[in-house]
Amino acid sequence: METQHGTATQRGAGLGATIRAWRERLSPSAAGLPSGRARRATGLRREELAERAGLSVDYVVRLEQGRATHPSAQVVASLADALRLTRPERDHLHRMAGLAPANDEPVPDRVPPGVHRLLNRLGDAAVAVFAADWQLIHWNPGWAALLGDPAATPPELRNFARERFPVGSGHGRVTRWPVLEENRDRSDLAIVSDLRRASGRFPHDARLNELIRVLTAGNRTFARLWASGTVAAHREDHKTVEHPAVGHVEVDCDVLTDGDSELKIVILTASPGSTDEDRLRLAMSADSDSRPTPSL
């Protein structure tokens, strides 16, 4: 029932906690089970998951407690079906179980030359590059002009997740001006889901693991969303920037991912021919002395 790939000690707890989070979020009705009888919890019981996956209850308990750390591909597939996982969540489960190659290297902080060339061609957009853990590693003059120059923030605090889910007084700062969103809850979940995805790709990265530990312990919203177990990549959003010189600027936010490095290229643009496009240009011209920062 088990294979022998990967490191058990670090992976076991994360695998078990993730399986439990997925089990507890799946309602009996969504799993095709009768929901008429009284229940203390909204999610599936362990025995119900075991039955749906064709496993023993004892094995499900050992998985969730981190005592079983090498489930086979067949077991993982059965669990994914029973838990009704999405494709990104299935991929994440395979990585957590050691059935897909995990990256033993740290989260990359280098912007490849080809990406640099792409960024240099986006002069009419506000662009920033984040590492897989949402650490800001590069931005162009348009980003500094529209959102405020992050250079005033110490490098170790230039983390969008820390800014979004503050802990005490040491939270990160990537933007200086207020940014409003149409669906803050959805965007928060997207960031947390993206971090969980990164944790499967870079399970041994100390900076990423410390970030997750700090945010889980110190921010209730992050802890609640992390407990949901959702895995996804942050792709697009719509934001309104409260710029001190030009007023409200509505922009579309698109997030591109650079291959295995999981670098996130965040591009803010305004609708062509709109008043917001004019305001975006004014914001950029108002801070024309800004210069691109080098990659770390």
Question: In the CATH hierarchy, which top-level class contains the domain 113-285?
Answer: alpha beta
pLDDT at 296 over 70: no
Question: Model pTM greater than 0.85?
Answer: no
Name the pLDDT band for 58 (thresholds 50, 70, 90): very high
- 78-87, 138-147, 217-226, range with the lowest pLDDT: 78-87
- The predicted-structure confidence for 181-234, as pLDDT tens digits, reads as follows 878 888 899 999 999 988 888 888 999 999 999 999 999 999 999 988 888 776
Q: Give the Å distances, CA to CA, from 21 to 18, 53, 57.
A: 5, 16, 17
pLDDT of residue 290: 42
Residue 294 pLDDT exceeds 50:
no
Please report where in the chains the tokens 């290297």 appear, as a residue.
105
Query: For a pLDDT cut of 90, what percent of the chain falls above it?
Result: 41
Sign of CA dihedral 207, 256, 121, 268: negative
Percent of the chain beyond pLDDT 70? 88
Quote the tokens at residue 24.
Answer: 């507890």
Q: Are 122 and 265 in contact (CB under 8 A)?
A: no
Contact between 235 and 252 (Cβ < 8 Å): no
Contact 91, 76 (CB under 8 A): no
- Quickly tell me which residue has 């041994």 as its tokens: 204
Residue 293: the pLDDT is 45
pLDDT digits (tens, 9 = 90+) for 11-52: 444 888 889 989 988 888 887 777 656 667 678 989 999 999
- Between CA 187 and CA 198 the distance in angstroms is 17
Neighbouring residues of 210: CB distance < 8 A, sequence distance ≥ 6: none
pLDDT at 274 over 60: yes
| Distance of alpha carbon 26 from alpha carbon 29, whole angstroms | 8
Is the Cβ–Cβ distance between 176 and 148 less than 8 Å?
yes
Q: What's the rounded Cα separation, in Å, for the pair 35 and 178?
A: 45
Residue 152 has pLDDT above 70, yes or no: yes
> What's at 52, amino acid-wise?
R
Q: 129 with 119: CB under 8 angstroms?
A: yes
What ranges do the domains of the chain cover?
A: 8-96, 113-285
At residue 235, the pLDDT reads: 74
Give the burial string for 54-68 (b: 16+ CB within 10 Å, else e): ebeeebbebbbebeb
Most confident of the following: 35-39, 90-94, 117-121, 244-248: 244-248
CATH level 3 topology of 8-96:
434 Repressor (Amino-terminal Domain) (1.10.260)
Average confidence (pLDDT) over 78-88:
88
Give the length of the chain. 296
More confident residue, 233 or 128: 128
What number of helices (H) and strands (E) belong to the chain? 12, 6
Across 262-271, b (16+ Cβ under 10 Å) vs e yields bbbbbbbbbe
